[in-house]
Amino acid sequence: MVSLKEAKDALGQEVHQLQEKLELLENLTQLEVLNDSFNLEALELTHTSDGTQAVIQGVSWDSYETLLAKLEENSHYRVSYLDEILEIVSPSRKHETTKSRIRSLVELLLITKRIKHTPMGSTTARNRLKKAGAEPDECYSFGGEEKDIPDLAIEIIITSGSIKKLETYRRLGVKEVWFWKKNHLQLFYLREENPAEFSQTYGYEEIKTSKLIPQIDIDLLTECMLIPDQLDAIDQFQQGIS
């Protein structure tokens, strides 16, 4: 039997989730992101530990680009697009804290090992012909030249989204994708020469060691991601890569 306290806690959580959904909807409405060009009957709102998510079906490419322009000054939202499915996420604090940690550790290694790179943050990568667009949590290009599409994309996945991330990145031509999910790092490398062999993972091969940053110890990185204190994590990681 459920106790009165448990029932109150469950109800309180439900109310909080509803408030989060309404807040996202109100913010998008105020920003004029949601308008008559979207089929709002196809709008799905969900709340997870990763944040609040809005998914809209049947969105044209022009509407997607219009939305990106309206959100240009608001970096809080993450927008993905694939085959007329639009996903807008308002990340949770937990998501942003995890993202900050992995960025700090990866960039510490890149600087320490003097690997030439360009941090691209959550830059929007998109391709109209491929009907795909994404804003990774973090992404990087390597080498000296300026690139529109990152070589490496990193995603913090606390709960599954509605858009197939690897398929999106394959269409964009991102070479390597990392997923931090359930306290574990999964690495995928694009195998353009034989995509059929890796059809289950949309042309990507799951790998144990980064092809782009072979100097990074994934086990050490994972261990330091799980250390509660940020400074302790950085100290331990720095000792491990010295």
CATH number for the domain harbouring residue 86:
3.30.1360
Pairing of strands 152-156, 78-82: unpaired
Among 58, 91, 124, identify where a domain stops: 91
Same domain, 112 and 71: no
When pLDDT is averaged across residues 79-96 and rounded to a whole number, the result is 89
Q: What is the CATH number of the domain that holds 222?
A: 3.90.1570.20
Among 71, 91, 111, identify where a domain stops: 91
Residue 37 has pLDDT above 60, yes or no: no
Residue 15 has pLDDT above 50, yes or no: no
Same domain, 154 and 222: yes
167-185: pLDDT as tens digits: 999 999 999 999 999 899 9
Same domain, 78 and 107: no
Q: What is the pTM of this model?
A: 0.82
231-242: pLDDT as tens digits: 999 999 999 998
Kindly report which listed range (45-49, 90-94, 101-105, 203-207) carries the lowest average pLDDT score: 45-49
Same domain, 84 and 32: yes
Where in the sequence is the domain holding 176, given as residue range(s)?
A: 93-241
Same domain, 106 and 214: yes
Residue of higher predicted confidence among 1 and 90: 90
Q: Is residue 52 a contact partner of residue 24, using CB atoms and an 8 Å limit? A: yes
When pLDDT is averaged across residues 209-222 and rounded to a whole number, the result is 98
Which residue, among 111, 170, 164, 174, has the nearest Cα to 141 in the 3D structure?
A: 174
126-139: pLDDT as tens digits: 999 999 999 999 99
- The pLDDT confidence band at residue 6, using thresholds 50, 70 and 90, is low
In the chain, how many domains are there?
Answer: 2
DSSP string, 182-207: TTEEEEEEE-TT-GGGGGGGTTEEEE
Same domain, 87 and 113: no
Residue-level pLDDT at 91: 85
Residue-level pLDDT at 27: 56
